[in-house]
Amino acid sequence: MNDELFLNERVEVVAVFSEGLNPCKPVKFRRASGREVDITEIGLCHPTTAGRRMVHMFDVTDGGADYRLEFDSERLTWLLTLEADRV
Amino acid sequence: MREDYNPTRPLVMHIDLNSCFATVEQQARPMLRDRPVAILNRRTEHTMIITCSYEAKAMGVRLGMSFKEAKRLCPQLVGLESDPPKYRYVYHKLMEIMRDYSPSFTMKSIDEGVIDFAQSSAAIRDRDMVEVAQEIKHRLRTEIGCAMRCNIGIAPNRFLAKTAAGLNKPDGLNVIDHTNLREVLGRLKLQDLTGIASRNEHRLTQVGIMTPLQFLDADAYSLRTVVFKSICGDQWHQRLRGWEVDDVVYDLKTCGRQYVLESRQLTRAQVSQRLHHLVESVGSKLRSQQKCARGVGIYVRLYGDAEGSASNGRWGRKGNYWHEKYLAPLPFYSDAAIWAIARRLFAHVPPGGIREIGVHCYHLTDDMGNQLSLFGNELVREQQVTTALDEINQRYGNRTIHSADTLGTGVYVKQKIPFGSTRYL
């Protein structure tokens, strides 16, 4: 299987809200350990629901590994839920 | 019956996302691009590969192989568990793009759709179809992601458009019309045609039709009376000539779900719990389509060959497949009603290790009807409870409330993407 690490870690995120098809773009995030990750590409961003709560999934990379960030639009929280594909 | 090839301008476009699930994963996770990726339904090595990337295909990995077998062919293969919400999102984006071009479009499955430009506005219909196809490819890349690729086929009918979409994978764009029909069919084998698998191929080769061109040249009478022995022969005759016979919407006839058990060591009680979980899932699917059922059927597949002549059920051709069904006098739609029947049927399952289980509802109707029942109050109460439970599950998430019997089965019996039908997406 793949080297996927499933997490449930609250992270601090810097995001830009601009125009365009995907107006919300996370730029970087700081993990609980204090390590900062600069996002170089947003692979896919898609909404999903947890009951009637809307959660936006952001699959991103820093060029060294892939990460999944989840933005809960009701609670306004960011979670890091996956780290994978480290080269 | 038209004998000529359809000479009209090709206005049917078939769009097929290439290795859809694997491509979506490579789009979402940039570190996986240009690497062999296989999508699995479970995170075990004995599970079957449901789709794989073109890089994996180049190494000999094929759909249906076990992950363990594929890993021997391609040691660097990355196995990922399927992620339905991602694929559903891409499906809806593709649908949005298609809707921009014509009010008449149909999603044939989660990764392919058909646009009928004959129903479009003149401004769109009069455009060059190849240019429109290139625009759709471009929009897929800009609106979903740069790794997204699709094959597009353009033809006068749905069948030829699908055939055209199967040529030059990946990222192909092909047109079939009356001018190149013979040339394209001349390059294909019988099983390359959608709808011709081993049985139909056998029917055709029995009468000396060995190639698609010979199939095209066969007359309608022979196809109807000798080869297919039904109206299907006439339909194939027209379909191959580019005339539309497939613009049909079929009613929902059955609604079901199956599950391959996660372990060989499960007791009958544990298998029964998983069947109950499937029943709850089927009940929810049934009600999402505003349908009621009158019949319930279950099947089990046992390990090896088993003898079951003493059982009430029926055995399939392979000997290890057992099924049984029951038709009730009145329609029902609650999980409790479906489970009451399924549990009774399950009690008849012959002895032996069970590998796979399935349950389906049939004789579907649109509503419960207005016929008064001796048990009227009870039925009304059951409907109200079921509606309330569905509302809670919709509000707070799937399986917020479920029967105590299925507590803990959700870890194993997960919701997966339906390949065939798009009704539940």
* Best of A2, A21, A58, A62 to mutate (most B CBs within 10 Å, chain B): A2
| CA distance to partner chain A, nearest, from residue B158 (Å) | 31
Domains present along chain B, CATH in parentheses: 1-179 (3.30.70.270), 184-249 (1.10.150), 255-411 (3.30.1490.100)
pLDDT tens digits, one per residue of B312-347: 567 766 668 899 999 998 888 899 999 999 999 999
**Residue B390: closest CA among chain A residues belongs to which residue?**
A51
pLDDT tens digits, one per residue of B130-178: 999 999 999 999 999 999 999 999 999 999 999 999 998 889 999 999 9
CA pair distance B164, B153, nearest whole angstrom: 4
CA pair distance B252, B391, nearest whole angstrom: 23
Average the pLDDT over B387-409 and give the result: 88
Angle at the Cα of B192 from the Cα atoms of B191 and B193, rounded to 5 degrees: 85
pLDDT of residue B310: 47
Is there a contact between B142 and A21 if contact means CB atoms under 8 Å apart?
Answer: yes
Residue whose structure tokens are 């392919």 = B112
Using an 8 Å CB-CB cutoff, list chain B residues near A52: 394-396
Chain A contact for B29, CB < 8 A? yes
Average the pLDDT over B227-245 and give the result: 93
Residue whose structure tokens are 């590994």 = A65
Contact A47, A41 (CB under 8 A): no
* Measured CA distances, B271 to B48, B54, B136, B410 (Å): 21, 37, 47, 13
User: Which residue, among B305, B299, B311, B412, has the nearest Cα to B352 in the 3D structure?
Assistant: B305
Is there a contact between A46 and B85 if contact means CB atoms under 8 Å apart?
Answer: yes
Using an 8 Å CB-CB cutoff, list chain B residues near A2: 78-80
User: Which residue, among B152, B173, B194, has the nearest Cα to B15 in the 3D structure?
Assistant: B152
CA pair distance B198, B45, nearest whole angstrom: 29
pTM over 0.90: no
* Measured CA distances, A44 to A61, A82, B170, B334 (Å): 10, 14, 21, 38
**Residue A44: closest CA among chain B residues belongs to which residue?**
B28
Q: Which two tokens stand for residue B262?
A: 């996660």
CA pair distance B68, B214, nearest whole angstrom: 41
pLDDT tens digits, one per residue of B97-136: 999 999 999 998 888 999 999 999 999 999 999 999 999 9
Measured from the Cβ of residue B389, the count of other Cβ atoms closer than 10 Å reads 19
Q: Which two tokens stand for residue B238?
A: 């027209």
First and final C-alpha spacing in chain B: 38
Signed CA dihedral, B71, B73, B77, B79: sign only: negative
ipTM of the complex as predicted: 0.94
Size of interface A-B (CB pairs under 8 A): 61
Burial B249-261 (b: 16+ CB within 10 A, else e): eeeeeebbbebeb
Closest partner CB to B78 (pick from A2, A21, A51): A2
Whether the pLDDT of residue B295 is over 80: the answer is yes
| CA distance to partner chain B, nearest, from residue A28 (Å) | 17
Of all residues in chain B, the percent with pLDDT exceeding 70 is 92
Closest partner CB to B395 (pick from A44, A46, A52): A52
Chain B contact for A74, CB < 8 A? no
**Residue B71: closest CA among chain A residues belongs to which residue?**
A1
- Full pLDDT tens readout for chain A, 87 residues: 668 899 999 999 999 999 888 899 999 999 999 999 999 999 999 998 877 789 999 999 999 999 999 999 999 999 999 999 887
DSSP string over A69-81:
EEEETTTTEEEEE
Chain B contact for A34, CB < 8 A? no
Measured from the Cβ of residue B390, the count of other Cβ atoms closer than 10 Å reads 17
| CA distance to partner chain A, nearest, from residue B20 (Å) | 14
Q: What is the dihedral of CA B5, B7, B11, B14, to 10 degrees?
A: 20
Contact B241, B379 (CB under 8 A): no
pLDDT tens digits, one per residue of B2-49: 888 999 999 999 999 989 999 999 999 999 999 999 999 887 778 889
Burial B318-353 (b: 16+ CB within 10 A, else e): eebbbbbbeeeeebbbbbebbbebbbebbeebbebe
Angle at the Cα of B238 from the Cα atoms of B236 and B242, rounded to 5 degrees: 110
pLDDT tens digits, one per residue of B349-393: 988 889 899 999 999 988 655 555 666 677 778 888 998 999 998
Closest partner CB to B395 (pick from A4, A51, A87): A51
CA pair distance B404, B223, nearest whole angstrom: 56
pLDDT of residue B289: 87
Is the peptide bond prior to B170 cis by the omega test (within 30 degrees of 0)? Answer: yes
